């Protein structure tokens, strides 16, 4: 029923656009009103007067993506986040992103990051990923990562990082509960942050910092191919995409290599601190001088566990480093924020019976029983390498497509810090 209603809605929207074009309009009236509303909201946000410096409790660098999720980030900041920060005497500098890599470029080149207490992002996991990889391009990246806490107000259709953090403290995983708690933490002078493990990722051409997931095959296709329904359906786009992909199942030829995770004497720990107790610069001064990736399991380590290699036809390869990839049930219930192991799962074509098995898998994710299905293989690893041996598929890192045929992921001893609670 939901799918039928959606198809009707899509066709009606297309008809409206076509009629507007016939009348000579370059874009439809609804698009014009949305643009006008965004201009008005932008004016409100940028013209707001900051609280007096002498009463200021701290300062945030804020990134707003006006096109993430259902396009409500400007409205949320203008009507809710901004006024609450004002009342709590927290100053802020706002950057409204105008396209891909805007936030990345700002964080690559900004010379006064040390004056802020943290970064606040109104978007989804994609903008967090972009921000982290802007920092990665800096000479002082590995001192900034654990010193510049990141706050998140969910405005995207995928909010796995935020949901993983909030679930640790018992927040109910509903859209309203997640939003309410995120707003409370993001605007509170008592906000606290804590460690989240960081991963090193190498592709054919680039090195990335990652924090959430690596996908290829079924779930990656659902994520990317449903992007066109992001504004109309929000998180429900994954449900529609899953139904369509289950009916039109694909196989993917690839080679998967991994090393089993071993503790090796390293005990990941969570560093909890008050966001406004110190500035980023003050925390950097106190931090150890780390200037490179500190791998958990170095390739030169002769005691590393033996490599496992699987070359076959896959249905799905999905590895996560946090518990949640969205606000439904956890994908990896045993994952912890600070723990640096990679929770790898995969499905081989030869192991499934019918397409019904895949539908069961997708439905089971909401009930947290997907990893118990007999055709789903799972293992905890310290590193993995995926080589794509067929065409026509996406490799997705933290929800973002990366153009590569090879992706190598390694657990590290590095971390970032994320707003997580209030004192």
pLDDT tens string 249-308: 889 999 999 999 988 878 888 899 999 999 999 999 998 777 899 998 776 665 567 889
C-alpha–C-alpha distance, residues 118 and 130, integer Å: 16
- Active-site choice (35, 125, 204, 357): 125
| 363 domain residue, yes or no | yes
C-alpha–C-alpha distance, residues 380 and 45, integer Å: 45
Assess whether pLDDT exceeds 50 at residue 246. Answer: yes
| 332 domain residue, yes or no | yes
Mean pLDDT of all residues belonging to the chain = 87
Give percent of the chain with pLDDT exceeding 70.
87
Residues in the chain: 423
| 207 domain residue, yes or no | no
| 343 domain residue, yes or no | yes
C-alpha–C-alpha distance, residues 186 and 275, integer Å: 10
Mode of pairing for the β-strands spanning 150-154 and 118-123 = parallel
Q: What is the CATH number of the domain that holds 358?
A: 2.60.200.40
Domain count, the chain: 1
Judged by DSSP in three states, 2 sits in: helix
Assess whether pLDDT exceeds 60 at residue 13. Answer: no
**Residue 357: count of CB within 10 angstroms of its CB:** 18
Question: Phi, psi at residue 124, to the nearest 5°?
Answer: -115, -165
At 9, list the tokens.
């809605």
* Full residue range of the structural domain in which residue 255 is found: 213-261+293-413
C-alpha–C-alpha distance, residues 298 and 404, integer Å: 23
| 137 domain residue, yes or no | no
112 is catalytic: no
Full-model pTM: 0.86
| 83 domain residue, yes or no | no
| 287 domain residue, yes or no | no
What is the average pLDDT across 137-165? 93
Helix axes 237-247, 218-225, angle to 10 degrees: 130
Assess whether pLDDT exceeds 50 at residue 343. Answer: yes
């Amino acid at each position: 029923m939901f799918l039928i209603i959606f198809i009707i809605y899509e066709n009606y929207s297309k008809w409206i656009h076509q009629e507007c074009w016939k009348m000579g309009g370059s874009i439809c009236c609804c698009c014009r009103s949305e643009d006008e509303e965004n201009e008005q909201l932008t004016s409100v946000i940028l013209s707001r007067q900051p609280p007096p410096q002498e009463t200021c409790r701290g300062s945030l660098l804020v990134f707003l993506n006006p096109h993430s999720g259902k396009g409500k980030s400007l409205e949320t900041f203008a009507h809710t986040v901004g006024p609450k920060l004002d009342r709590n005497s927290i100053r802020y500098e706002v950057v409204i992103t105008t396209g891909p890599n805007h936030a990345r470029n700002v964080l690559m080149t900004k010379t006064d990051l040390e004056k802020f207490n943290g970064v606040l992002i109104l978007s989804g996991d994609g903008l967090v990923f972009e921000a982290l990889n802007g920092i990665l391009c800096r000479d002082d990246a590995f001192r900034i990562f654990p010193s510049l806490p990141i706050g998140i107000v969910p405005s995207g259709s995928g909010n796995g990082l935020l949901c993983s953090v909030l679930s640790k403290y018992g927040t109910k995983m509903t859209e309203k509960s997640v939003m309410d708690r995120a707003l409370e933490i993001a605007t509170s002078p008592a906000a606290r942050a804590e460690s989240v493990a960081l991963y090193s990722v190498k592709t054919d051409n680039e090195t990335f910092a990652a924090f959430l997931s690596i996908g290829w095959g079924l779930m990656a296709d659902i994520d990317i191919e449903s992007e066109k329904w992001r504004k109309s359906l929000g998180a429900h786009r994954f449900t529609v995409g899953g139904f369509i992909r289950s009916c039109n199942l694909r196989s993917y030829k690839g080679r998967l290599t991994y090393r089993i995770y071993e503790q090796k004497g390293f005990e990941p720990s969570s560093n909890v601190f008050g966001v406004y107790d110190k500035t980023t610069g003050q925390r950097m001064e106190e931090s150890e001088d780390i200037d490179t990736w500190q791998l958990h399991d170095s390739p030169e380590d002769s005691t590393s566990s033996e490599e496992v290699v699987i070359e076959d036809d896959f249905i799905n390869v999905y590895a996560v480093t946090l518990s949640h990839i969205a606000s439904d049930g956890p994908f990896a219930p045993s994952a912890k924020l600070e723990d640096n192991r990679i929770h790898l799962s995969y499905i081989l074509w030869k192991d499934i019976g019918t397409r019904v098995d895949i539908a069961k898998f997708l439905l089971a994710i909401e009930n947290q029983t997907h990893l118990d299905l007999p055709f789903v293989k799972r293992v905890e690893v310290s590193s993995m390498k995926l080589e794509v041996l067929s065409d026509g598929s996406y490799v997705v890192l933290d929800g973002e497509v990366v153009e590569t045929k090879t992706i190598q992921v390694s657990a590290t001893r590095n971390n970032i810090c994320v707003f997580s609670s209030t004192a």
